[in-house]
């Protein structure tokens, strides 16, 4: 299972595959894809502040249907336990998304340089 960061979900929903480098594109095509439920919350937040036209449920339902996107498996107390040690960011969404990838022992596709610097399994273009 490979986890997706929020911006990856937004770009997939928009069909903007030109943003993805080859390594990310290959993983998107071959891996089982999942998101932390925190991604759903961040998508809804982006919708509420006007940065995303569709509500989170619309985006995730569409991607579930089109690409089989699922939800990450680790339980929330385990995710929070991992997040407690991630003091390198003050962004609660990023902190929990990375923690969920850690709790699931899963790679994370992200263009976010800071996340890639602190999560050995995070990648964009290997």
What's the confidence (pLDDT) of residue 109? 98
Q: Is 71 helix (H, G, I), strand (E, B) or coil?
A: strand
Instruction: Look at residue 126 and tell me whether its pLDDT is greater than 90.
Output: no
Least Cα distance to 75 among 53, 104, 97 occurs for 104
The count of domains in the chain is 1
CATH number at residue 68: 3.40.50.1010
Instruction: Look at residue 1 and tell me whether its pLDDT is greater than 80.
Output: yes
What's the confidence (pLDDT) of residue 85? 97
Q: For residues 71-80, give the mean pLDDT.
A: 96
Q: For residues 30-52, give the mean pLDDT.
A: 98
pTM: predicted TM-score of the whole model, two decimal places? 0.96
Residue 98: partners with Cβ closer than 8 Å, 6 or more residues away: 83, 86, 89, 108, 115, 118, 119, 122
In which domain, by residue range, is 27 found? 2-123
Residue 36: partners with Cβ closer than 8 Å, 6 or more residues away: 3, 71, 72, 79, 96, 97, 100, 101
Would you state the structure tokens that stand for residue 35, as one six-digit string?
């998101």
């Amino acid at each position: 299972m490979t986890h997706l960061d929020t911006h990856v979900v937004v770009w997939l929903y928009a069909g903007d595959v030109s943003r993805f480098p080859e390594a990310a594109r290959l993983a998107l095509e071959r891996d089982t894809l999942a998101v932390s439920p925190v991604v759903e919350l961040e998508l809804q937040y982006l919708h509420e502040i006007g940065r995303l036209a569709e509500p989170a449920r619309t985006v995730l339902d569409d991607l579930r249907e089109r690409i089989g996107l699922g939800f990450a498996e680790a339980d929330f107390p385990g995710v929070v336990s991992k997040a407690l040690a991630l003091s390198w960011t003050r962004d609660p969404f990023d902190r929990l998304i990375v923690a969920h990838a850690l709790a699931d022992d899963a790679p994370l596709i992200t263009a976010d340089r800071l996340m890639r610097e602190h999560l050995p399994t995070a990648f964009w273009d290997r």
